[in-house]
Structure 1
Amino acid sequence: MLTTQIKNQDPLNPMEGTEFAVQLATFSGVEQQVQTNQLLAQLLQGSNGGELGQLSNWIGREVRTSAPVWFDHSPLTLQIDSLADADKVALVTLDAQGNEVLREDIGTGSGEVDWQGKRANGDLLPEGLYSFRLEATKDGKVISTRDVEAYSRVSGVEMTKDGARLILAGGGWATVDEVTALRE
């Protein structure tokens, strides 16, 4: 609209600079209001509004997810589901960049375990976001690799263009699809 106005402006009677600045500010304000209205409509539309309200009840609770979780030197609860055919299972810890930082032989059992984040010499890994995977072997050959889920506290919920996202302690996040359990 502004471009059309400038093209059709009378060169013998140009618009004053202050009028031009006022019109620019008005156009900017209208554009921001339109975007705000669109975002509000998205929140109230369909299940998103209800989903946001429902997920807000998750704040303060813990979710189990394979997304990276924050380690602050407090133990993390991991869900270990190993394979019956494996003769050896390793828990592989990955940092936020996906680099392997720790590998621990954990046996072939299943269930919840408290991960301490300690190296073999007893030193703790630095605080940060970590993800985990199991590497199952039989007769020295890797037969399976799978993500390991960990519990993390939900500190907030936000709506994105792709749907709801849970904000986890320490700045991590997970989509609702990545959550497999919820606990107090």
Structure 2
Amino acid sequence: MATVSATNPYAGLTTTTATGTTPASGNSQEIAGNFQQFLLLLTTQLKNQSPLDPLDTNQFTQQLVQFASVEQQLKTNTSLSTLVAGAKASTASSAAGLVGSNVTVDGSSAVFTNGAASWSLNPAKAAASAILNIKDSTGTTIATQTKALAAGQQTFTWDGRTANGNLAAAGTYTLAVTARDAAGQSVPVATDVSGTVNSVDMTGETPVLVIGANRVPLSGLKSIGQ
């Protein structure tokens, strides 16, 4: 049985978890994850307070308020987890319904997986020089290529090599293109992709639409046709 000092009601107190016995001052996440530990601490303090210096009424009221707040927070976390799980299931179901549909998506973002990421480019006219910047999820440019672009629809494929020669991690990357013609005039380059959704990849955090050679996050969906 735990022994408790009159001057320090928590001294010597231990709590039992699924992994064994740990000090009451142990990992805060373990305490927050088990609501019963808060009740144990409160009742132990009440039973072992000093007769010469009993717990102040205001302090006791404050502890009760904190106790109730912890209970509400734990219940809120559980509710939020349920809502998130439900939202993910709803999104996956909606994405699956797009298979076979003709869609237009924002092609500036593509998923790098299996050693490649592909973008569909459509310059308004031939560009003598185009700077292609690949950016990660934070907006940081990790790779840059310079090349000429012919007019019309074409595919640009990135092998995942960053500026320092390392292989990028799997994930979603964004392409920004700045192109100019032989006279130095700016050339608009569209990256929108239109086509039929062949399949939907749900192995990642968010569904990915597979449209031919392009893999575009569901968040890039712009329109759905017949």
The TM-score, its normalising length taken from structure 2, stands at 0.42
- The structure, 1 or 2, with the larger RCO (C-alpha pairs under 8 Å, 6+ apart) is 1
The TM-score, its normalising length taken from structure 1, stands at 0.49
Kindly indicate which of the two structures has a greater share of residues assigned to strand: 1
